[in-house]
């Protein structure tokens, strides 16, 4: 969610019971602005909070002129001092996927691999590295995965300029109430995967400036998003069931939207059994 | 004076050699004609939409000059589209006058209804101010907010008023906002309630569907002895004995729960929970849809619909995560052994009038300063163990005694759970994760900090303590945390169809070779028998005439 509209946005996304204490809200108002100044971000988003066993990580993202470029991520344990996270690599993500269990809350905690194939173990031992992964790397990989899989925006909120960069659509007035209840009005804010697979007939209806991302309609498994109207039908709230804790809110016919994650940072692999 | 600078508009139009019409029309009179032609062209109405470009451009420029957006050239196409849309909207004015009844308006009506005072309330106000079962939801919400837990203030206030409405309708002694469980289509807001003694309505008990196999067996076996036809034997399967649910007001049914989907909607009472439902709920993991009558499709099949599943999960969550500071509650009577009753421990407690609250630092640092004040649920699904093989009046009387002795398994071990008011330090860890995470709400102002506990076994369960005040709440999806992935139970092994005996034995089907060998042997025997029959033909004919 936008740092500038944090207090209002937290109220809208609080349907799940998770939020921030007044102390954190107050300090974020100041520290996110300072982040913007220090790192020269154009936009700062408060991404959310991953709850570990002994502490919590608060994550913020900074965006540059091209909103679709890889974002810089920062984390903090107390919302006052922020540290830049290294960019996520494929290897990090693959390693982190094998880890299970909660985050500990200590960024220098090292996980030991519990399940390794014999081949992997040989390979790793040959290199002289021990099969350990630090919690910081796991954090990076988890945030990247969550953004990639369930970070969403409403359709039309961003446009692709002819030069290729993506920026906010100033003509976006919000989705209408009927549109807001459909999953096809929301896009994953990441590199599209399924766009090329659409039939020519579907592609003819698309508007290349606004429809350059994957929509939520064809997410697997079907039903992994819940769409609800809260606060008497004035706010549309989407919650992901794949990553429990990700909440997206949008007030129809206004420009307010955003997503935030409050959770334990674990993927819900039991989803097919639970639906 | 004409434009002299290149950036001024119109520059180049009057200079020789720069105007677009220069090489074509040098003559001013012709230029006027050209301008009129151009204007006539612009005024031409489109055949499809009836608009003309001249008016459209004029409107567009007016709009741009009125609104003066930044970087207008970047959004010029959108401005043009907006102007065209505006044209349409005017024409459809008559249709638009019908105000749509949006669902948002109806919801707003319901919320407004919460705020209206019911008739006759002013008279009762005096009495209510004294002792009211209504909990101070806003105060609890304030303490939880210090930890970042809680719903938005609006929603909390709506829930406050909805609880007030509930209390005015039902004869309630104590009431508490238990929490919110999220669902796929709608969410549940749950209130935990205790009725006044004696005020509770008796519910009609539904017939339990599970038959006792023993009775059926007894009757049919008699028939079998009488008729000697080859009938398939009835199954000897006896389902395990049904464990009765606990009485309302005790054990897992100590509290009654009311749910609603949104504050303003009517409260619905949840049925009491049975041990079978709790046992099954432990094996399945399903999301709630938000409709109480939705079926729960699962394996093992859940005995009930979503209302029962919800009630079972609420019972499990309450038993696992409702905690209070040590010493707040104490046992009513201090005498005697706790083991006296054998099957239960104490199940009643009262508030300790001499409770001295510990400091926040102590509450956070050590888990033994907190205790569970709800009985834990045994594996059987009840809080107080029940021996199903006792001969009691509830069992059917016409069971064969012989059968019972033959089929009775070994006596079940009495299950004993942790006694009431056990401290949290006794809670099991899972894979090196402690069962609870304790934090103070703020490190910057420790004098006014609140001790907060989050459950790791039931993510979403929170508790706070500050001085003499404490509270529990749940916000979540209603599932237990499992470090391993959920593995649904496998179907049970195939049952043997018939009991083995001399009349009926199960063997494998013969293979092809065996069948052929058998056929060959049979043919040989037949050939041998035919020779014998030829000799006895005369005797057989005489016997046939008798039949």
Distance CA B267, CA B265 (A): 7
Q: Which of A93-102, B197-206, B381-390, B467-476 has the highest mean pLDDT?
A: B467-476
Query: Per the CB < 8 Å rule, is B107 touching A270?
Result: no
CB of A165 less than 8 A from some CB of B: no
Task: Count the neighbouring beta carbons within 10 Å of the beta carbon of residue B302.
Answer: 21
Query: Per the CB < 8 Å rule, is A24 touching B148?
Result: yes
Smallest Cβ distance to A244: which of B146, B151, B477?
B477
Give the model's confidence band at B423: pLDDT under 50 very low, under 70 low, under 90 confident, else very high.
confident
Smallest Cβ distance to B146: which of A21, A223, A229?
A21
Smallest Cβ distance to B486: which of A231, A233, A270?
A270
pLDDT at B268: 93
Distance CA B392, CA B403 (A): 17
Structure tokens at A224: 């992994």
A115 and A9, same domain (yes or no): no
Please report whether residue A274 resides in a domain: no
Which position has the higher pLDDT, A162 or A23?
A23
Please report whether residue A275 resides in a domain: no
Q: Which domain holds residue A32?
A: 3-85+143-266
A226 and A252, same domain (yes or no): yes
End position of a domain, from candidates A121, A142, A163:
A142
Query: Per the CB < 8 Å rule, is A102 touching B153?
Result: no
A115 and A232, same domain (yes or no): no
Instruction: Give the residue among A3, A267, A18, A53 at the shortest CA–CA distance from A148.
Output: A267
Task: Count the neighbouring beta carbons within 10 Å of the beta carbon of residue B427.
Answer: 21
Tell me the shortest Cα–Cα distance from A127 to chain B, in angstroms. 30
In this predicted structure, the answer to whether residue A58 has a pLDDT above a threshold of 90 is yes
Distance CA B68, CA B259 (A): 53
3-state secondary structure B314-331: HHHHHHHHCEEECCCEEE
Distance CA B61, CA B265 (A): 52
Q: Hunting for tokens 């913020």 — which residue is that?
A: A60
CB of B437 less than 8 A from some CB of A: yes
CA distances from B431 to A116, B287, B456, B484 (A): 19, 25, 11, 10
Q: What is the radius of gyration, based on Cα positions, of chain B?
A: 41
**pLDDT by residue (tens digit) across A82-102?**
999 999 889 888 888 888 888
CA distances from A213 to A155, A242, B418 (A): 9, 20, 55
- Do B222 and B203 meet the contact criterion of CB atoms below 8 Å apart? no
With a pLDDT cut of 90, the percent of chain B lying above it is 11
**pLDDT by residue (tens digit) across B250-274?**
777 888 999 999 888 889 999 998 8
CB of B455 less than 8 A from some CB of A: no
3-state secondary structure B139-186: HHHHHHHCCCECCCHHHHHHHHHHHHHHHHHCCEEEEEEEEEECCCCC
In this predicted structure, the answer to whether residue B408 has a pLDDT above a threshold of 80 is no
Residues of B whose CB is below 8 A from A51: 454
Structure tokens at B245: 């649910």
Identify the closest residue of chain A to B285 by CA–CA distance: A274
Residues of A whose CB is below 8 A from B185: 226, 228
A58 and A105, same domain (yes or no): no
Smallest Cβ distance to A14: which of B151, B182, B443?
B151
**pLDDT by residue (tens digit) across B7-36?**
777 666 666 655 555 555 557 788 898 888
pLDDT at B31: 87
A158 and A240, same domain (yes or no): yes
End position of a domain, from candidates A142, A159, A177:
A142
Q: What is the ipTM of this complex?
A: 0.89
End position of a domain, from candidates A142, A160, A183:
A142
**pLDDT by residue (tens digit) across B62-120?**
988 988 888 888 788 888 888 887 776 655 555 555 556 677 787 788 788 888 865 44
A54 and A170, same domain (yes or no): yes
CB of A208 less than 8 A from some CB of B: no
The number of domains in chain A is 2
E strand or H helix at B211: none
Which position has the higher pLDDT, B131 or A173?
A173
In this predicted structure, the answer to whether residue A112 has a pLDDT above a threshold of 50 is yes
Supply the pTM of this predicted model.
0.77
**pLDDT by residue (tens digit) across B196-249?**
776 655 544 443 333 333 343 434 444 444 445 566 666 666 777 777 777 777
A7 and A24, same domain (yes or no): yes
Tell me the shortest Cα–Cα distance from A228 to chain B, in angstroms. 6
Query: Per the CB < 8 Å rule, is A15 touching B456?
Result: no
Identify the closest residue of chain B to A171 by CA–CA distance: B78
Which position has the higher pLDDT, A5 or B111?
A5
Choose the mutation target among A51, A261, A274, A275 for the interface with B, i.e. most B CBs under 10 Å: A274
Q: Give the range among A230-244, B109-123, B190-204, B519-533 with minimum mean pLDDT.
A: B109-123
**pLDDT by residue (tens digit) across B272-310?**
988 889 989 998 899 999 899 999 988 888 988 999 999
Query: Per the CB < 8 Å rule, is B146 touching A17?
Result: no
Distance CA A99, CA A135 (A): 10
**pLDDT by residue (tens digit) across A185-209?**
899 998 888 777 777 777 777 777 7
- Do A139 and A85 meet the contact criterion of CB atoms below 8 Å apart? yes
Averaged pLDDT of chain A? 86
In this predicted structure, the answer to whether residue B123 has a pLDDT above a threshold of 50 is no
Query: Per the CB < 8 Å rule, is A100 touching B477?
Result: no
Query: Do strands A257-263 and A43-51 pair parallel, antiparallel, or not at all (unpaired)?
Result: parallel
Structure tokens at B459: 């993510």
Choose the mutation target among B68, B152, B430 for the interface with A, i.e. most A CBs under 10 Å: B152
Which position has the higher pLDDT, B152 or B532?
B152
Distance CA B155, CA B189 (A): 11
- Indicate the burial class of B398 (C-beta count within 10 angstroms; 0-12, 13-18, 19 or more): exposed
A216: which DSSP letter? Answer: G
A204 and A223, same domain (yes or no): yes
A55 and A21, same domain (yes or no): yes
A63 and A104, same domain (yes or no): no
Identify the closest residue of chain A to B181 by CA–CA distance: A16
CA distances from B192 to A81, B271, B330, B452 (A): 42, 13, 21, 21
Peptide bond into B29 cis (omega under 30): no
**pLDDT by residue (tens digit) across B312-339?**
999 999 988 888 888 888 876 554 444 3
pLDDT at A140: 92
- Long-range CB contacts (< 8 A, 24+ apart) of A173-178? A173/A253, A173/A254, A173/A255, A174/A250, A174/A251, A174/A252, A174/A253, A174/A254, A174/A255, A174/A256, A174/A257, A175/A236, A175/A250, A175/A252, A175/A253, A176/A252, A176/A253, A177/A233, A177/A252, A177/A253, A177/B102, A177/B104
A54 and A150, same domain (yes or no): yes
Distance CA A133, CA A113 (A): 8
Averaged pLDDT of chain B? 76
A132 and A200, same domain (yes or no): no
- Do A247 and A262 meet the contact criterion of CB atoms below 8 Å apart? yes
CB of B387 less than 8 A from some CB of A: no
Please report whether residue A123 resides in a domain: yes
Distance CA A157, CA A168 (A): 6
DSSP string, B87-105: HHHHHTHHHHTS----HHH
Smallest Cβ distance to B186: which of A228, A241, A274?
A228
pLDDT at A206: 76
Which position has the higher pLDDT, B379 or B506?
B379
Residues of A whose CB is below 8 A from B106: 233
pLDDT at A171: 84
Tell me the shortest Cα–Cα distance from A126 to chain B, in angstroms. 30
Query: Per the CB < 8 Å rule, is A17 touching B476?
Result: yes
Distance CA B317, CA B309 (A): 12
CA distances from A246 to A15, A146, A226, A242, B42 (A): 12, 9, 11, 9, 54
- Which residues face B423 on adjacent strands? B371
Please report whether residue A111 resides in a domain: yes
């Amino acid at each position: 969610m936008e740092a500038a509209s944090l207090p209002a946005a937290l109220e809208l996304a609080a349907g799940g019971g998770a939020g921030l204490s007044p102390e954190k809200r107050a300090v974020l108002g100041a520290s996110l602005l300072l982040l913007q100044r220090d790192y020269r971000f154009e936009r700062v988003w408060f991404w959310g909070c991953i709850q570990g066993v002994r502490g919590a990580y608060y994550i913020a993202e900074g965006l540059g002129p091209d909103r679709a470029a890889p974002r810089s991520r920062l984390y903090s344990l107390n919302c006052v001092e922020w540290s830049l996270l290294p960019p996520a690599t494929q290897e990090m993500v693959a390693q982190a996927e094998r880890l299970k269990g909660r985050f500990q809350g200590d960024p220098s905690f090292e996980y030991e691999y519990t399940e390794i194939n014999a081949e992997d173990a040989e390979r790793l031992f040959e290199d002289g590295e021990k099969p350990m992964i630090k919690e910081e790397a796991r954090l990076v990989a988890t945030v990247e995965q969550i953004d990639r899989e369930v970070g969403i925006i409403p359709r039309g909120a961003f446009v692709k300029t002819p030069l290729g960069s993506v920026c906010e659509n100033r003509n976006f007035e919000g989705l209408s109430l009927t549109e807001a209840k459909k999953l096809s009005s929301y896009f994953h804010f990441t590199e599209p995967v399924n766009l090329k697979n659409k039939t020519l007939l579907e592609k003819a209806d698309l508007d290349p400036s606004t429809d350059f991302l994957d929509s939520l309609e064809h997410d697997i498994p079907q039903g992994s998003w819940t769409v609800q109207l809260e606060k008497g039908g004035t706010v549309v709230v989407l919650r992901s069931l794949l990553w429990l804790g990700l909440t997206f809110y949008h007030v129809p016919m206004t420009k307010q939207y955003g997503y935030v994650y409050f959770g334990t940072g674990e993927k819900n692999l039991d989803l097919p059994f639970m639906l | 004076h004409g434009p002299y600078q290149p950036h001024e508009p119109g520059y180049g139009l009057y200079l020789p050699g720069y105007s677009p019409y220069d090489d074509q029309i040098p003559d001013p009179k012709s230029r006027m004609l050209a301008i009129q032609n151009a204007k006539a062209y612009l005024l031409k109405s489109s055949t499809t939409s009836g608009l003309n470009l001249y008016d459209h451009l004029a409107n567009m420029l007016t709009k741009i000059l009125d609104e003066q957006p930044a970087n207008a050239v970047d959004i010029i196409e959108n401005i043009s589209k907006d102007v065209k849309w505006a044209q349409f909207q005017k024409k459809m004015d008559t249709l638009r006058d019908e105000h749509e009844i949006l669902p948002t308006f109806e919801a707003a009506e319901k919320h407004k209804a919460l705020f209206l005072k019911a008739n006759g309330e002013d008279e009762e106000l005096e009495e209510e101010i004294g002792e009211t079962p209504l909990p101070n939801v806003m105060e609890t919400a304030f303490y939880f907010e210090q930890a970042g837990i809680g719903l938005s203030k609006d929603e909390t206030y709506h829930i406050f008023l909805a609880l007030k409405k509930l209390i005015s309708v039902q004869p309630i002694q104590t009431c508490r906002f238990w929490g919110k469980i999220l669902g796929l289509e709608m969410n549940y807001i749950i209130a935990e309630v205790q009725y006044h003694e004696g005020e509770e309505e008796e519910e009609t008990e539904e017939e339990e569907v599970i038959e006792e196999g023993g009775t059926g067996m007894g009757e049919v076996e008699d028939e079998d002895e009488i008729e000697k036809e080859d009938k398939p034997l009835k199954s000897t399967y006896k389902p395990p004995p049904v464990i009765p649910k606990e009485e309302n007001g005790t054990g897992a049914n100590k509290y009654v729960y009311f749910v609603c989907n949104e504050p303003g909607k009517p409260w619905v009472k949840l049925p009491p929970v049975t041990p079978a439902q709790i046992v099954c709920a432990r094996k399945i993991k399903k999301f709630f849809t938000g409709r109480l009558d939705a079926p729960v499709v699962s394996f093992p099949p859940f005995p009930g619909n979503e209302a029962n599943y919800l009630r079972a999960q609420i019972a499990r969550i309450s038993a696992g995560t409702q905690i209070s500071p040590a010493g707040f509650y104490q046992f009513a009577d201090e005498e005697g052994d706790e083991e006296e009753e054998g099957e239960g421990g104490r199940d009643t407690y009262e508030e300790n009038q001499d409770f001295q609250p510990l400091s926040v630092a102590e509450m956070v640092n050590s888990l033994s300063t907190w205790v569970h004040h709800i009985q834990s649920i045994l594996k059987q699904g009840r809080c107080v163990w029940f021996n199903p093989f006792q001969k009691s009046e509830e069992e059917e009387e016409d069971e064969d005694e012989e059968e019972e002795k033959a089929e009775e398994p070994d006596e079940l071990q009495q299950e004993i759970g942790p006694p009431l008011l056990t401290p949290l330090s006794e809670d099991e860890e899972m894979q090196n994760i402690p069962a609870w995470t304790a934090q103070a709400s703020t490190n910057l102002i420790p004098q006014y900090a609140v001790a907060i506990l989050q459950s790791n076994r039931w993510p979403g369960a929170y508790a706070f303590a500050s001085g003499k005040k404490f509270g529990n709440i749940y916000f979540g999806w209603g599932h237990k945390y499992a470090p391993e992935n959920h593995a649904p139970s496998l179907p049970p092994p195939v049952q043997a169809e018939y009991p083995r005996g001399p009349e009926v034995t199960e063997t494998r089907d013969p293979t092809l070779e065996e069948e052929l060998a058998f056929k060959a042997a049979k043919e040989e025997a037949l050939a041998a028998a035919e020779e014998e029959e030829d000799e006895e033909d005369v005797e057989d004919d005489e016997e046939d005439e008798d039949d």
